[in-house]
Amino acid sequence: MRRARACGRIAIPPAPGNPHVTDRLAALYPQHLATVVARAERALARGGFDHLLVAAGTELYAFLDDNHYPFRTNPHFKAWVPLVAHPHSWIAFTPGRRPVLCYHQPADYWHLPPAPPAGYWVEHFDLRVIGAPAEARAHLPSDLSRAAIIGEPGAALDGVVPSNPPKVLASLHLARTRKTPYEVECLRMASLHAARAHRAAAAAFRERRSEHEIHRAYCEAAGQGEIELPYGNIVALNEHGATLHYQHQDRTAPAEHRSLLIDAGAQVHGYAADITRTYGDGGAEFTELLHAVNAVQMALVAKVRAGQDYPALHVEAHHALAGVLSAHGIVRMAPESIVESGLSRAFFPHGLGHYLGLQVHDVAGFQRDEDGGTIERPPGHPYLRLTRVLEEGNVLTIEPGLYFIDLLLAPLREGAHARAVDWAKVGRLAPYGGIRIEDDVVVGAGEPENLTRDAFRALAA
């Protein structure tokens, strides 16, 4: 087997599931679990509870059917253990005691049950293997009057009903915004798998493949099936790139391959990568615009620091992109006027990014403090998903974009600033759909760590 190759902060695993990854995670996990325990103790104290029970969740079945939807683990459960396909399992924690894991392993010949519990995390838990969901009740505290129970309603057992106390959740959610070294390592590994798959998707685009074939090339290179990916891949050729969350995959290749916008990730132990890249056919106008957006994106990433107000960075992105619109003659106005008039929102209609971790759009993006509350979005920016001041240990995305969306451009044609737009140029660029560049970034004490760019560089070495 090839050894992992060191490159900067990342060592490259030869393929998904490489044992070197497990060695690194095993070394980091004890400190991570200690942090999770301390956060749980603090949340229980703030909420006035003695026990914390966390349900992994259950399979949800389609209406009038015996097939269930793809299972998604409760993120609070996988914060404790790297288990993402174990419905009906439970964590039970009482301060001062070893956490209990009820590990559901049914006797089943219709479906392959989970393997016996094994791995670097096992020794840290009081393991109780259960064969049926109801058996978990015997391993949970007998008196649940002072238990905070976190989970979906369907996870309820006899007498064990998820209550999701707001004070406990607020404390846990805010704590989750500060990632442990173990969590950052999982995110690094996820970025490597996603970057490897993005390279395969770019190659499939150059081979003039269909959206569906590009998606299949992505999954093959990521080593993850559709259900294992953290979200449905956005694979948009040509005009489809103007639909921000384009949800289809044409199986027939278009006559021309002008552009590819691919927004796709990967998971490692439940931690998600979320990466977007845009590629063009080499046409000068679109290529120049693509390079300009990429330069804006990298400049914004460089400003990711502890103490940075994220809404202010989002507004700065509007000014930078307005500069691109002006410099490239798409809108014949000064950048400040493009922003003040609202024209920039027609070309950049979404937020700059969001928290990332156990969920793709991770929790607490609007949370005011440990007691909860909301930090409102700035006026005129309804789709921003993060309004907090950045702190060391945060992981977030930076994803500016420029798009040519008929629904948003149509009012401009009839508006007060219609003559400021070079509609001939817009007409030439519209068949390319749009541009989005998205990186996953760790907030450090000083310079940010760009997980995405590091991964691409490591794979190219």
Residue 445 DSSP code = S
- pTM (2 d.p.): 0.94
pLDDT band at 445 (very low <50, low <70, confident <90, very high): confident
Lowest mean pLDDT among 16-30, 86-100, 110-124: 16-30
- Of all residues in the chain, the percent with pLDDT exceeding 90 is 93
pLDDT of residue 461: 87
Residue 3 pLDDT > 70, yes or no?
no
Average pLDDT of the residues in 413-424: 96
Question: What does the pLDDT read at residue 20?
Answer: 52
Q: For 181-460, which CATH superfamily applies?
A: Creatinase/methionine aminopeptidase superfamily (3.90.230.10)
- Map tokens 């996990």 to a residue: 29
- pLDDT the model gives residue 21: 67
In the chain, residues under CATH classification 3.90.230.10 are 181-460
CB neighbour burial string for 416-444, b if at least 16 within 10 angstroms, e if fewer: ebeebbbeebbeebbbbbbbbbbbbbbbe
Nearest Cα neighbor of 425 from 454, 456, 459, 402 is 402
User: If you average pLDDT over residues 74-96, what whole number do you get?
Assistant: 97
Classify burial at 266, counting beta carbons within 10 Å of its beta carbon; exposed 0-12, middle 13-18, buried 19 or more. buried
> Average pLDDT, stretch 389-393?
98
Residue pLDDT, tens place only, 154-203: 999 999 999 999 999 999 999 999 999 999 999 999 999 999 999 999 99
Q: Max CA-CA distance within the chain? A: 72
178, 454, 307, 168 alpha-carbon torsion, rounded to 10°: -10
Average pLDDT of span 18-44: 90
Q: What angle do CA 59, 43, 186 make, to 5 degrees?
A: 60
Q: CATH 3.40.350.10 in the chain, residues?
A: 5-176
Q: Which CATH class is domain 5-176?
A: alpha beta
CA–CA gap between residue 420 and residue 333 (Å, rounded) = 7
Burial class (CB in 10 A: 0-12, 13-18, 19+), 445: exposed
Q: What is the mean pLDDT of the chain?
A: 94
Burial 82-91 (b: 16+ CB within 10 A, else e): bbbebbbbbb
pLDDT for 92: 98
Residue 333 has pLDDT above 80, yes or no: yes
For 293-316, what is each residue's pLDDT tens digit?
Answer: 999 999 999 999 999 999 999 999
- Write down the pLDDT at residue 22: 76
Phi/psi for 127 (5° steps) reads -85, 135
- First-to-last C-alpha distance (Å) of the chain: 18
Two tokens, residue 190: 């996820």
CB atoms within 10 A of CB 47: 18
Predicted pLDDT of residue 283: 96
Distance of CA 47 to the CA centre of its chain: 29
With cut-offs at 50, 70 and 90, classify the pLDDT of residue 19. low
Residues 376-401 have a mean pLDDT of 97
* Burial classification of residue 21, based on how many CB atoms lie within 10 Å of its CB (0-12 exposed, 13-18 middle, 19 or more buried): buried
Place of tokens 């969590």: 183
Tens digit of pLDDT for each residue in 429-443? 999 999 999 999 999
* Residues 269-281, mean pLDDT to the nearest whole number: 98
Confidence (pLDDT) at 15: 46
Rounded Cα–Cα distance for residues 37 and 93 (Å): 8
Band (pLDDT 50/70/90 cuts) for residue 6 is very low
Q: E strand or H helix at 451, and its extent?
A: helix 451-460
For residue 14, the model assigns a pLDDT of 44
